[in-house]
Amino acid sequence: MPTILITTDYLVPGDEVDHYLTGLGFTTRHDPMRGPRDPSQLIAALKDVEGALIANEPMTEHVLRNAPTLKAIVRTGVGYDSVDVDAATELGISVSNLPGINANAVAEFTIAIVLAAMRRLVPMAAGVAGGGWPRQDGFELRGKTVGLIGRGAVAQRVAVLAGAFGTNVLSTKDVALDEVLRESDVVSVHTALTDRTRNLIDAAAIAKMKPGAYLVNTARGPIVDEAALADAVRRGHLAGAALDVVSKEPLPADSVLRGVDGITVYSHMAGQTAEARRDAGIEGAKELVAALAGHPAHQIGHAALAGNPAHRIGESA
């Protein structure tokens, strides 16, 4: 039976996913991704592998061309920008993601960091830890307008949760991006990273936002121009930003986002709940088995993308 490489770091030998795959006769090889690694290491890990259940491994054209036995890749998540889908398609390698698999986890986290930003919870707690007793006013979410850049599963769930706080919700599903930027007190990004959305929130877009608004990003770092964002917060045009994703992860010591009062960066944890991880692991394994059998449910590729609205600006993958 085929060998399957598993790089998602929370999937381990002997767990539910491992038992599922080995129970079907597959051989599993665990090589968790816990930071950057040289392409040669990934190529070595893919030796004699037919299926790969991956995290954010850089599946470049070079890597894929040096994995001659590879037939299917499944991302245990939604974003698949680390995979060269064009090269995979050319080489006949099936690529799948898991749309909506962690939508609730990301939506809950989004609301949590919006509230934390508006009430300045992180600097308040840091002040107390440092021996102070800060008592600054914050802002309520009730009565505010929350603008969502995206129309997929996460954005839809955020809309429900935000509505429960008594907000007015705008979305690029219903109105133009410019209107979302212009009218919202909180702008939250939930779109896939593509050539069209890279730097979508640049200096010009930020200038259209309400003075005193907040920007939230739980999608992909490169969608936001970080230098423009830092400048807007420093100048006071924006009240702040809450970012779970950045252009380079982990956040570099010299990042323009560091040291900016009002900007809080989290460690790409929005989708990391016990429930979401379990669902992603087992559903990813099932998708990989289906892909190796020739009938994936969530294949990404030229044929699939032709009718996939995730490649319109403002759409969540």
Residue with tokens 């003075």: 211
DSSP 279-294: HHHHHHHHHHHHHHTT
Catalytic residue among 30, 75, 151, 220: 220
Tell me the Cα Rg of the chain: 21
Q: Is 119 a catalytic residue?
A: no
The reply to whether 302 belongs to the active site is no
Place of tokens 């692991």: 281
DSSP state of 241: E
Report which residue type is found at 199: N
CB 296 within 8 A of CB 72: yes
Q: Which of 14, 210, 242 lies closest to 120 in space, CA to CA?
A: 242
Name the β-bridge partners of 89: none
Q: How many CB atoms lie within 10 A of CB 186?
A: 25
Task: Identify the active-site residue in 75, 120, 268, 298.
Answer: 268
Among the listed residues 90, 179, 183, 249, the single catalytic one is 249
Catalytic, 220? Answer yes
CA triplet 232, 234, 239: central angle to 5 degrees? 70
Q: 116: number of CA atoms within 13 Å, CB side?
A: 19
Q: Could you tell me which residues come within 8 angstroms of residue 168 by beta carbon, excluding any fewer than 6 positions away?
A: 144, 145, 146
Task: State both tokens at 192.
Answer: 């896939």
Any idea which residues carry the catalytic annotation?
220, 249, 268
